[in-house]
Each structure stands twice: as C-alpha cells, then as structure tokens.
Amino acid sequence: MTGEELERFPLLAALADPEREALARVLELLELEAGVRLFDAGDPADGLLLVADGRVALSSAPHAARGEFGPGETFGANSLVSEGRRAARAETLSRARVLRLGRDAFRSFADAQPRAACRLLEALLREQARITHEAVQRMSAAPVDRPAAGD
C-alpha cells in the first residue's frame, strides 16, 4: 500500500503526501478470504483497521448490533490510544484487503511524525463525534414506551 492509495481514506485526508507515505510504511497489510475472523469480542484491542477492499462485518452479540464496513472505511480507532478489549467480532464478508495500524506502530509513527499523528487523532475524534451525534439523533427520534393509563 502506498501513500497515494491511502488518499481514498477520508480519515487520512488531512495528511500531506509525505506523511501518508510514512504511514504506509508502518501499516500491516492483511489479505483475507471471505469468512475470516479478524477478532472476537473480548480480544485485546490493539489497533485501527482500514478496509482497502472487500467488506467486513462487525457484530456484537449482547446488543444484537451489526455493521458493515467497505473500502475507505475504518474501525477500532479507540484502541490506538486506549488499552482494552474489543466490544464486537469482526469477520470478512468477502475477499478483503485490510490495513492494520497497531498501537506500537502508531506510537513509532507519532515519534517520527508528531504533527501528522496529531492530525490523524483529530480526524479520529471528529469521526467519533459524528458517530455519537448520529446515535443521539436516532435515540431522540425513537418512540418512547409509555405505560398505559391506569398502569
């Protein structure tokens, strides 16, 4: 994967070409067949995943939640800066190329490219804020269960 190829990830739009090239050097490329599990809920969370090609499903059994990610989309951003456990299972729905930015690789990137790492973190925070805003909007639009009169 080259820095030029990373341009198609909206998350990386704020990075300059040399910064994307530096980031490309620390990414791990995973070429996967359909039905490959990337991780399970409860596994250690250790990096950001970027879908270069194909489709990946995230599912959380306790919450019956499911999402799909395709080319240009990312997930697992919190694990770049926070240790913890994965909240969902990730599995490929098709052949896929997934890029992994592990926490240690991110820290090395941040040491070498502090301004670029800061811009990447800012983009991750904007994305988290957008997701939170959308969730709040959906919750606000959902009907409220009210007890029947006399209950």
Torsion on CA atoms 66, 26, 127, 49, rounded to nearest 10: 0
Crossing angle of the two packed helices 114-141 and 103-112, in degrees rounded to 10:
130
Domain boundaries, the chain: 5-134
Six-digit token string for 63: 């919450």
Give pLDDT tens digits for 77-92.
Answer: 888 888 899 989 999 9
The Cα–Cα gap between 150 and 139 comes to: 27
Q: Which residues pair with 97 in a beta bridge?
A: 31, 53
Contact of 79 with 14, CB cutoff 8 Å: no
Residue 100 has pLDDT above 80, yes or no: yes
Backbone φ and ψ for 139, nearest 5 degrees, come out as: -65, -40
Q: Which residue is associated with the tokens 């809920």?
A: 41
Which pLDDT score is estimated for 148? 57
Give pLDDT tens digits for 2-12.
Answer: 888 899 899 89
* Superfamily of domain 5-134, CATH level 4: Jelly Rolls (2.60.120.10)
Report the predicted TM-score, pTM, of the whole model to 2 decimal places: 0.84
Q: Which residues pair with 68 in a beta bridge?
A: 57
Neighbours of 59 (CB within 10 A): 15
Which pLDDT score is estimated for 64? 64
Most confident among 22-31, 69-78, 140-149 (mean pLDDT): 22-31
| Cα-based distances in Å from 90 to 30, 75, 104, 136 | 13, 10, 21, 24
